[in-house]
Amino acid sequence: MEFMGIGFALLGAALAVFLSGFGSAIGLAAAAKAATGVLSEKPERYGTLMLLVVLPSTQGIYGFVVGLFVMIKLNMFAGAPIAITWYQGLQILAACLPIAFAGWISGIQQGRTGAAGILMSAKRPEMAFKAGVVYAAMIELYAILGFLVSLLILLMGIPLQAPGVAA
């Protein structure tokens, strides 16, 4: 029963990392497939298309940072994790869900939007930034919001007792 809190907290960290990473991987794959098709005909557009391909990777980074903050909050790297209650573990799990789901969905959708921008730029290269990057960046906003909510809850909303400090 004493490890239940740590288990819930680490489940939250894992969901943040895996779901946002999963969304990033799918989004990157969609954009990369479109880019390779365009680049096979027009290799000079590599630099322009690269930004549209890599944009979905940020969601995975946001999830990784949240997972890292959970492990830091739990004192996992110092060798002696903080003992937390199951309720605190559930709070940490809940704090990880905004970036887990926002990263998952927005990573996929941002990759699809990037792929559409890449395909559009094959015929209208001047629109690659104006429409392609701007539209994909609009989706980024929701990943950033999920990241900020998760991070703020972890940093300011869930007080934990540091080891060796009396209550």
Backbone angles phi, psi at 46, to 5 degrees: -55, -50
- The predicted model scores a pTM of 0.89
Rounded to 5°, angle at Cα 145 from 142 and 148? 150
Along the 167 residues of the chain, how does pLDDT read in single tens digits?
A: 668 999 999 999 999 999 999 999 999 999 999 999 989 888 888 888 888 899 999 999 999 999 999 999 999 998 888 889 999 999 999 999 999 999 999 999 999 999 999 988 888 878 777 778 889 889 999 999 999 999 999 999 888 765 555 54
Instruction: For residue 153, give both structure tokens.
Output: 């809850």
CA dihedral over 24, 29, 34, 36, signed as positive or negative = positive
Q: Which domains can be identified in the chain, with CATH numbers?
A: 4-156 (1.20.120.610)
Helix axes 86-123, 46-54, angle to 10 degrees: 160
